[in-house]
Amino acid sequence: MPRPSQGAGGLALSALDDSVLDYSVPDYGVQDDSAQDDSAQGDSGQDDSAQGDSGQDDDDPPRGAPGPAAPSVTRPRPPERPGRGRRALLAGRRAVRAVAALLLLAAVWEILPRLEVVDPTFLPPLSEVLLAWAELLRSGELADHAGASLARSLAGFGLAIALAVPLGLLIGWYRPVAQFLGPVLELFRNTAALALLPVFVLILGLGETSKVSIILYACAWPILLNTVAGVKGVDPLLIKSATSMGLKPYRLFQKVILPAAVPTIFTGVRLAGAYSILVLVAAEMVGAKAGLGYLINYAQFNFRVPDMYAGIITISALGLLFNLLLVRLERRFSTWRTT
């Protein structure tokens, strides 16, 4: 099957896949799941191998579609393919469904405070929050806070990757290291990261060091544990197969263990990405002078309630984007893990 094209985003992507499939199995019409991928694979491969390649590019559909003019009259075209229009319609319908809940939430947020079902002092209508958000954006305040937050998140996240991946590889590969570090790891991973925040502040002070450190700490765990699991989870048969070809341990590690573990490692990285944003806010509520967490906390203190919500919206949007990015990246690195 053509590697699920990563180009388009979630919704558009699946719609596109359906239409690609439509060419090989026209009678099924458009189906929602990828179940027929398998059936299209098998030995009947020859015919779809050609279009397998062309299907990789998002923007030029495999033959059909607009194309050059001069339609040949002779052959009746095999069952109608979804043209651009129908495809767009499908994607559109899906998008509507996905956005519906969000719109509903927005409407509820707008209407309930206006009807004073909830106290607008504590939960101002969404429109007011958005106005406050626009004002923060205009004044540049938002960018400053978001920038400070992102810098901390990315620093902690990046350092966590740099430290936890090699350590995880080491633990996963060398049994003695695992046996030695096992109990300590078990102890620490069951200690909530935020419970240690005061300790970090105590030792590293209120500055950037302690904030980046706590993010690093929180991010390191999922990466470390997934890396260890990834290395340990490599199919022993693959190791046997490579060993039988006389691969030395170093080459075995490089050519088999590492590539086999990459998807699992990436799952850890994606989780860590979420943690980096989650922990960030808490870290910034203690002794920060900038950052979205600080903004939220500070706004609440000064009863700038719309600003507080604006900060919250920003941080959730940030988390969402970051996660989306990492999911995309993860998918790219684990296309083969479909068995």
Partner 1 sequence: MKIELLDVTKEFPVRDSGTPFTALSGVSLSVASGEFLTLVGPSGCGKSTLLDLLTGLATPTRGEIRLDGVPVTGPGLDRGIVFQQYALFPWRTALANVEFGLEAKAVPRRERRELAGHYLDLVGLTGFAERYPHELSGGMRQRVAIARSLAYDPAVLLMDEPFAALDAQTRESLQEELLRIWQATGKTVVFITHGIDEAVYLGQRVAVMTPAPGRIREVVEVSFDSREGDLRGTARFGEYRHAIWSLLREEAVPVA
Q: Give the interface with partner 1 as residue ranges (CB under 8 A).
A: 1, 41-43, 45-46, 49, 53, 235, 237-238, 240-247, 251, 255-256, 259-260, 262, 335-339
124 vs 230, beta carbon nearer partner 1: 230
DSSP H helix total and E strand total for the chain:
14, 0
Minimum CB–partner distance for residue 123 and partner 1 (Å) = 50
- Could you count the other beta carbons within 10 Å of the beta carbon of residue 171? 24
| Minimum distance from residue 226 beta carbon to partner 1 (Å) | 17
DSSP code at position 288: -
Q: Going by C-beta distance under 8 Å and a sequence separation of 6 or more, which residues neighbour residue 227?
A: 164, 165, 167, 168, 169, 171, 172, 261, 264, 265, 268
Structure tokens at 29: 């019409």
CB of 72 or CB of 244, closer to partner 1: 244
Shortest distance, position 236 Cβ to partner 1, whole Å: 10
Q: How far is the CA of 288 from the CAs of 102, 156, 201, 223, in angstroms?
A: 32, 16, 11, 27
Q: Kindly state the smallest distance separating residue 333's Cβ from partner 1, in Å.
A: 9
The distance of closest approach from Cβ of residue 229 to partner 1 in the complex, given in angstroms and rounded to an integer, is 17
Under DSSP, the state recorded for 76 is P
Q: Under 8 Å CB-to-CB from 301, ≥6 apart: which residues?
A: none
Other beta carbons less than 10 A from residue 146's beta carbon: 21
Residue 332 Cβ vs partner 1, minimum distance, rounded to whole Å? 12
Q: Which is nearer to partner 1, 179 or 338 (CB)?
A: 338
Residue 321: which of 160, 149, 163, 164 has the closest Cα? 149
CB-CB contact of 228 with 172 (8 Å): yes
60 Rama sector, left if φ>0, alpha if ψ -120 to 50, beta otherwise: beta
Comparison of 75 and 240: residue with beta carbon closer to partner 1: 240
123 or 229: whose CB is closer to partner 1? 229
Nearer to partner 1, 60 or 235 (CB): 235
Closest separation in Å from C-beta 232 to partner 1: 17
* Choice between 37 and 135, CB closer to partner 1: 37
